[in-house]
Chains A and B, each alone.
Chain A
Amino acid sequence: MAAKTLTIDGRLISAAEDQTVLQAAKDAGIQIPTLCHLEGLSDIGACRLCVVEVAGSNKLLPACVTRIAEGMQVRTDTERLRHYRRMVLELLFAERNHVCAVCVANGHCELQALALALGMDHVRFEYRFPKYSVDITHHSFGIDHNRCILCTRCVRVCWYIEGAGTKNVAGRGAECRIITDLNQSWGTSETCTSCGKCVQACPTGALFKRGSAVAEMERDRTRLEFIVNAREKKQWIV
């Protein structure tokens, strides 16, 4: 496969031609913030945190689904992008009930970590305080919709890695929610294999192992990548 050269944040780098801007930047040691992206899963360009400026395009492009091109000039960290990213986070914090102090993922949460990293220290928008339930009918896992940011990592991991197709999204707009099978309680699901990959994929405290107390829900993201590598490349490298 041919390599191409491009400029990211003023640095000349080379990358394989089928790589995305996000992958190329990562290989070059440039971090672009992401939320819906997870190594091993197909990208959907939904969270808009990874949007970058590309010279010659009047639109901001999501780095996770934008292929590199020869001579491409990418900027990943302008003041405008930082501003938009902070707003994305503000909107997420205002949307549901993200109360870190009583969250199982406190200290291990990607949303929280991004807010710290991007300097989102307060929310200027009105908190919506929606009333959402917690489903702990499954024997091992639970889902707290109050913490869900609808990144659909759990849905994708369930469909495309486990292949069970248990998780899905119902409703639309702000009413969207993650459902199990035909919108039934998780414990009654006939398709769930209880593999727990969705719990490992969740960036916040929405999906958790039952019994986890505040700040106890740590996850191992590398397992997914390991499984995908094993399956697709026949490589069992830990």
Chain B
Amino acid sequence: MDHIDLLETKNRELRTRKPLCLRVCMAAGCMSSNGQAVKDSLEKEIRAAGLADQVEVRRVGCLRLCCEGPLVASDPKGELYQKVTPDDAHAVVAALKNGNGELKRGDLQHPFFSRQMSIVLENSGVVDPERIESYIAADGYQALHHALMEMEPKDVVDTVFRSGLRGRGGAGYPTGLKWSTVAKTSGDRKFVVCNADEGDPGAFMDRSVLESDPQRVLEGMAIAAYAVGATQGYIYVRAEYPLAIARLNTAIRQAKQLGLLGGGIFESGFTFNVEIRIGAGAFVCGEETALLASVEGRRGTPRPRPPFPAESGLWGMPTLINNVETFANVPPILRRGAEWFAGIGTQQSKGTKVFALAGKIQRTGLIEVPMGMPLRTIVEEIGGGAPEGNQIKAVQTGGPSGGCIPANELDTPVDYESLVRLGSIMGSGGMIVMDQSTDMVDVARFFMGFCMDESCGKCIPCRAGTVQMHALLEKILKGQATLRDLQRLEELCDMVKNTSLCGLGQTAPNPVLSTLRFFREEYLHRLRSLPISPGIPILPNGSHHGPPVAEAAKT
């Protein structure tokens, strides 16, 4: 395939499009609420109405407002139908011809949609994730062509560097710097690895990107491979994402058929192949050195860095490893320029960030917003606040490595540095909203339990420390702990944070530390006074008739 073929593919796709289109969300969220049946029913209805040559029923990726699924968007009317059932097919088709059937119409002017800004998700809900032509019609693979034909590898690295893009996996390492390191390190072979082992509780950004627009990730990887001099790529995706895996397989097969992956891409000398590696369910395999060990077929445990993967990664070769969302940002950066991207966001954090909005909030779903947007805008305007008029108490970001940001800090702009200042992290993009009914000690215990289960067991502080911290949190929850237990918990937090081998252990205490920082009284209120006088019975709920707890806390 050359550039003319690419444009011809695009034009053919656009030419053959039907005037009307129903975009049916077929990402995992809507699929799990009967989306497939909705699509089948719509197709049947359109055939029955004799509209098959006028209306396209298109399988698309995530339409964002997951809580209202299954979602169907109607073009060119610009309507969004929510909670569509197979029985609604008649009304949806009638609505195409200005019928006014009983349908739950979504408000596309709501801040949930209007405050979003799409770069990573620009094709999500628009293109058919199982047809490469659909991606090409949306200017797909133009960036790769541009890079291969008109840019030197170092110019590609330079463009990514100047864009200010930072790693979307959580830590925010400058992507251009990482690419540059791999490009400058010599090795017999080099590898590009896509980390799709998204495992934070409540996070589904990467899954949505892979299910909605898998070609974009492949294109980003191919551009990266050209920039750093790699010929082989791996996508490490967790087995819990079967739909993403299936769509990736389809995408790789189609890209190979069109000569957009494999040998001599765009009839240049550039070769790049991608293979999928499926994770077996260990959270720690999202840590880069553990992930690489797993790709190599070894036990997925982290190793100390240095050497960093950029220097010694897969089979000791220089390896570039980036997150799904990072790669998904690359094609638009090359297409529209580093300056365009650098103009979005804040001084330190450029571009947009995709968040999975979940928890005690009116509108849950997938959002993409410019960096630096205040947390309040995200949860109160976009998310519509807590349901039933409840007050938002805290927002948890960064999953088990992150922290809880209290309601009085909601005006914090969402960027890498601001969140770190509050003892949380950007993380990969899980955002869990909590209202008044949430017990913060229980939140801390939940995340500690998660880290305890997911610790690989290699280093002692993480393996044994999380067990002890979890036990202490349980003790506090049962009302059986004393102030001394709390001190011990804090001591363990400090020790595990500072001595653990990898990021999992080093950040495992964060949910405890941040809830202790902002909600310390919730811990203190659960402590029992010390000592219990003999003869005072412990109540079944663990509390007892001792002196008021607040007094005990002062001592």
Taking the closest CB of chain B, its distance from the CB of A60, in whole angstroms, is: 6
Instruction: Please name all residues of chain B whose beta carbon is closer than 8 Å to the beta carbon of A26 when the two chains form the complex.
Output: none
Evaluate contact between A94 and B299: CB separation under 8 angstroms. no
A62, A94, A172 interface centre (most CB from chain B within 10 Å): A172
CB proximity to B under 8 Å, residues A49-108: 51, 59-60, 62, 65, 83-84, 87-88, 91-92, 94-95
Taking the closest CB of chain A, its distance from the CB of B373, in whole angstroms, is: 30
Q: A87-B492, A172-B456, A175-B457 are in contact. Are A45 and B468 (CB under 8 A)?
A: no
B452 at the interface (CB under 8 A from A): yes
Please encode chain B, from 435 to 470, with 1 for each CB lying within 8 Å of some chain A CB and 0 for all others. 000000000000000001111111111011111100
A44, A46, A83 interface centre (most CB from chain B within 10 Å): A46
B495 at the interface (CB under 8 A from A): yes
Stretch at the interface among B205-213, B496-504, B512-520: B496-504
Instruction: Please name all residues of chain A whose beta carbon is closer than 8 Å to the beta carbon of B463 when the two chains form the complex.
Output: 95, 150, 173-174, 176
The 8 Å CB contact of B495, one of A84, A150, A173, A175, is A84
Q: What's the Cα separation between A175 and B456 when bound, in Å?
A: 9
B488 at the interface (CB under 8 A from A): yes
Q: A126-B471, A150-B463 are in contact. Are A88 and B499 (CB under 8 A)?
A: yes
Q: What's the Cα separation between A46 and B83 when bound, in Å?
A: 51
Instruction: Please name all residues of chain A whose beta carbon is closer than 8 Å to the beta carbon of B269 when the two chains form the complex.
Output: none
Q: A44-B303, A45-B303 are in contact. Are A171 and B460 (CB under 8 A)?
A: no
The 8 Å CB contact of A94, one of B468, B495, B499, is B468
B531 at the interface (CB under 8 A from A): no
Q: A126-B468, A174-B464 are in contact. Are A60 and B457 (CB under 8 A)?
A: no
Evaluate contact between A173 and B455: CB separation under 8 angstroms. yes
Evaluate contact between A48 and B500: CB separation under 8 angstroms. yes
B304 at the interface (CB under 8 A from A): yes
Evaluate contact between A48 and B499: CB separation under 8 angstroms. yes
B491 at the interface (CB under 8 A from A): yes
B136 at the interface (CB under 8 A from A): no
Q: Which residue of A lies closest to B281 (CB)?
A: A172
A195 at the interface (CB under 8 A from B): no
A132 at the interface (CB under 8 A from B): no
Taking the closest CB of chain B, its distance from the CB of A76, in whole angstroms, is: 14
Tell me the dominant secondary structure on chain A's binding face.
loop
Instruction: Please name all residues of chain B whose beta carbon is closer than 8 Å to the beta carbon of A51 when the two chains form the complex.
Output: 499
Evaluate contact between B501 and A94: CB separation under 8 angstroms. no
Q: Which residue of B lies closest to A173 (CB)?
A: B455
Q: What's the Cα separation between A174 and B461 when bound, in Å?
A: 11
Evaluate contact between B468 and A125: CB separation under 8 angstroms. yes
Evaluate contact between B501 and A46: CB separation under 8 angstroms. yes
A124 at the interface (CB under 8 A from B): yes
Taking the closest CB of chain A, its distance from the CB of B265, in whole angstroms, is: 39
Q: How many residues of B contact A (CB 8 A)?
A: 30
Please encode chain A, from 99 to 119, with 1 for each CB lying within 8 Å of some chain B CB and 0 for all others. 000000000000000000000
Instruction: Please name all residues of chain B whose beta carbon is closer than 8 Å to the beta carbon of A84 when the two chains form the complex.
Output: 495, 498-499
Q: What's the Cα separation between A65 and B453 when bound, in Å?
A: 27
CB proximity to A under 8 Å, residues B106-137: none
Evaluate contact between B455 and A48: CB separation under 8 angstroms. no
Q: What's the Cα separation between A168 and B452 when bound, in Å?
A: 21
B282 at the interface (CB under 8 A from A): yes
Instruction: Please name all residues of chain A whose beta carbon is closer than 8 Å to the beta carbon of B499 when the two chains form the complex.
Output: 48, 51, 60, 84, 88
Evaluate contact between B454 and A91: CB separation under 8 angstroms. no
Q: What's the Cα separation between A94 and B501 when bound, in Å?
A: 20
Q: What's the Cα separation between A174 and B467 when bound, in Å?
A: 7
Evaluate contact between B457 and A169: CB separation under 8 angstroms. yes
CB proximity to A under 8 Å, residues B499-536: 499-501
A45, A51, A84, A173 interface centre (most CB from chain B within 10 Å): A173
The 8 Å CB contact of A172, one of B304, B455, B467, B491, is B455
The 8 Å CB contact of B459, one of A47, A83, A124, A175, is A47
Taking the closest CB of chain A, its distance from the CB of B496, in whole angstroms, is: 9
Evaluate contact between B471 and A172: CB separation under 8 angstroms. no
Evaluate contact between B460 and A173: CB separation under 8 angstroms. no
Taking the closest CB of chain A, its distance from the CB of B458, in whole angstroms, is: 5
Q: Which residue of B lies closest to A128 (CB)?
A: B467
Evaluate contact between B459 and A173: CB separation under 8 angstroms. no
Taking the closest CB of chain B, its distance from the CB of A47, in whole angstroms, is: 6
Instruction: Please name all residues of chain A whose beta carbon is closer than 8 Å to the beta carbon of B501 when the two chains form the complex.
Output: 45-46, 48, 62
Q: Which residue of B lies closest to A64 (CB)?
A: B304
Taking the closest CB of chain A, its distance from the CB of B131, in whole angstroms, is: 40
Evaluate contact between A87 and B491: CB separation under 8 angstroms. yes
Q: What are 7 A-B residue pairs whose CB atoms fall within 8 Å in the complex? A: A65-B304, A83-B495, A94-B468, A95-B463, A152-B458, A174-B455, A176-B463
14 extra interchain contacts, Cβ-Cβ under 8 A, other than A48-B501, A88-B461, A94-B468?
A47-B459, A62-B304, A84-B499, A87-B461, A94-B464, A95-B464, A168-B299, A171-B457, A172-B453, A173-B455, A174-B452, A174-B467, A176-B456, A176-B457
Shortest beta-carbon contacts, A-B, top 4: A176-B457, A91-B464, A173-B455, A45-B304
Interface residues of A (CB under 8 A from B): 44-48, 51, 59-60, 62, 65, 83-84, 87-88, 91-92, 94-95, 124-126, 128, 149-150, 152, 168-169, 171-176
